[in-house]
Amino acid sequence: MALPKRIIKETERLVAEPVPGIQAVPHEDNLRYFDVAIHGPTQSPYEGGVFKLELFLPEDYPMTPPKIRFLTKIYHPNIDRLANWSPALQIRTILLSIQALLGAPNPDDPLANDVAQRWKEDEPGAIATAREWTKTHATP
Amino acid sequence: MAPSRSSRNSLQSVDLRALDYLASPSANLLCPICHSPLITPVQTRCLHTFCSACISLSLERSLTCPVDRKDLSHDDVTPAPIMIANLVNDLVVLCPNREKGCEASCARWLVESHVREDCGYAMVKCAKEGCDGMVARKDVDEDCVHEAVECEFCEFAVRKLDLESHLRECPKLSSECPHCAEPFLNPELSIHIADCPAEIIDCPASHFGCPYTCPRSEVDNHTGSCHFIALTPILQLHTERITTLELENKTIRQKLELLIPPRPLPTPSSSSSNPQDSSTNTGSSSTTRDMTSEMQDYTYHLYSEYEQLRSDVERLNAQIRELDVKQDMARINEGLRYNDEMTGMRAAINGLRMQLHWLVASRRDAPTPNSGGAGGAANRVGAGSSTNDGRRMSDSARQIVKL
């Protein structure tokens, strides 16, 4: 099936006007599959890290959300949660949300329960672990 | 006859979303879902506009407005004002057969009829009776290209349409190798070309800068003596490191750009403040030289600005000191003047005090006002001076004191 115009437009815009700190490059053989690199926001435990993600646009995108998976190990209570999808959102908004989430972890809406628990009970410790993981796994 | 025949068309409908527009349309006319100019625009109760098909698809999954997430049902969606529909239908689009060669462009509402009836590059049914093939409308009056013909070399049956491409790769035909000029049968040619010994190839280390080229058969003689090949491992390592560093540099630059607003360009006067430096770095490559000289210009600009500020501060300091001295002088002068004045006043007060003393003393010695005249007269008489005049004089003096 031909690639919908919307995906072509979004891809062109992502390449022409990249979001600062976010790189998204489509695979040459499958334009629905993106290699994404997000730089950890400054003044967060993820600062200095570069987090690799894979992003896949399903057949019925934008009616269904893109599928996103972290390839770099990351210590975070709510990573890759994509609730509240709306077809008016787009790849760049979703990547921006992920970047924002790195800057402000929310242990009340957890995906990784053990991480959220630790984040609530011992926040400095959790932040230290996140920083350590960033250093070990996400520093280029 | 011709129009009725050519109006038969397999492309019954044009995919309006795939069209390219002559000018990029206003963002206000784009559907928030498909990001194309609206197609059959509809409006929601919350006054957002979508393509009819897009919002229907979205409502099948979630009964909310995709833009503001307010609750929404199919009944809340009504056709958008006709003006909006007219605006998007009048946008000029390029013919969808542009890649095949059609250069036409027309308003979007006309594009379907253009493809159905006019476009010479649209595929229509072949004119030959009994043929089910499709042919571009401009070629419809030519002979049917779907008939099978026999290849004169391999006796393989191919359609006329495909004959040309078949002849290029017919297995019974041979072509010349472009390098050694020897003929090879088509199926074997590509295998031969891949390692034709006569082909002039670059040194395996050409990407590191070796300019040597030679026929493939002689390349082994060269690799033994090539310095670049000997250096390949270390060059490879360096290339990798440079790539990593470039990436890192890019990230850092991005971060810097976020942190520091773009700096003003150095003014021409400041760049000429240190002329001898622009001539010092001539050996490096032009880009780095540009960057360094720009950096230096900027540094000199800053330096001269700093110097200017320092001299300003010194000048101000001197002025303040001068003012201080002036003020001191003025104060001393003023003080002296006040001193003089005070001395004068003191003298005047002393004079007054003397007069007062004299008056008080003279009054204490004198009798009461009623008998005073007689007493005074007696005194004066006693003193032996002229009688009447003296008394009157003392009387008038007493009155002045009273006043």
Task: Note the pLDDT of residue B287.
Answer: 60
**Residue contacts between A and B (CB atoms, under 8 Å):** 52
| Residue, of A59 and B280, whose pLDDT is higher | A59
A5, B258: Cβ pair inside 8 Å? no
- Greatest mean pLDDT among A11-15, A117-121, B159-163, B214-218 lies in A11-15
Number of domains in chain A: 1
Task: Note the pLDDT of residue B319.
Answer: 94
Mean pLDDT of chain A: 85
Is it the case that residue A12 has pLDDT exceeding 70? yes
Q: How confident is the model over B183-221, as pLDDT tens digits?
A: 887 778 888 888 888 888 888 888 888 888 888 888 888
**C-alpha triplet B384, B388, B390: angle, nearest 5°:** 65
Rama region for A71: left / alpha / beta (φ>0; ψ in -120 to 50; rest):
alpha
Task: Note the pLDDT of residue B4.
Answer: 44
Check: complex ipTM more than 0.85: no
Residue type, A118: R
> Can you give the CATH number for the domain in which A111 is found?
3.10.110.10
Residue type, B266: P
Task: Note the pLDDT of residue B286.
Answer: 59
Task: Note the pLDDT of residue A56.
Answer: 92
Best residue of B251, B253, B258, B260 to probe chain A, by most A CBs closer than 10 Å: B251
For each of the domains in chain B, give its residue range(s) and CATH number, in order of start: 6-141 (3.30.40.10), 157-219 (3.30.40)
Best residue of A63, A90, A99 to probe chain B, by most B CBs closer than 10 Å: A63
Task: Note the pLDDT of residue A112.
Answer: 72
Token pair of B313 as six digits: 């501060």
* Pairwise CA distance, residues B185 & A66, whole Å: 50
**Which ranges of chain B have pLDDT less than 50?**
1-7, 10, 267, 269-284, 371-399, 402-403
Total-model pTM? 0.49
Token pair of B112 as six digits: 């379907």
SS3 B29: helix
A5, B62: Cβ pair inside 8 Å? no
Instruction: Count helices and strands (H / E) in chain B.
Output: 12, 13
| Residue, of A43 and B272, whose pLDDT is higher | A43
Instruction: Count helices and strands (H / E) in chain A.
Output: 4, 4
Tell which residue, B93, B78, B76, has the closest CA to residue B36: B93
B32, A140: Cβ pair inside 8 Å? no
| Sequence-distant contacts of B86-91: CB under 8 A, at least 24 apart | B87/B29, B88/B25, B88/B29, B88/B37, B88/B38, B88/B39, B88/B41, B91/B21, B91/B22, B91/B25, B91/B29, B91/B37
* Minimum-distance CB partner of A39 among B18, B62, B251: B251
Residue B244, classified by CB atoms within 10 Å of its CB into exposed (0-12), middle (13-18) or buried (19+), is: exposed
| Sequence-distant contacts of B56-63: CB under 8 A, at least 24 apart | B57/A63, B57/A87, B57/B33, B58/A63, B58/A86, B58/A87, B58/B33, B60/A63, B61/A63, B61/A64, B62/A86
Minimum CA–CA partner of A13 in chain B: B35
Give the domain extent around A129. Answer: 5-138
Cβ–Cβ under 8 Å, residues B147 and B159: yes
Is it the case that residue A126 has pLDDT exceeding 80? yes
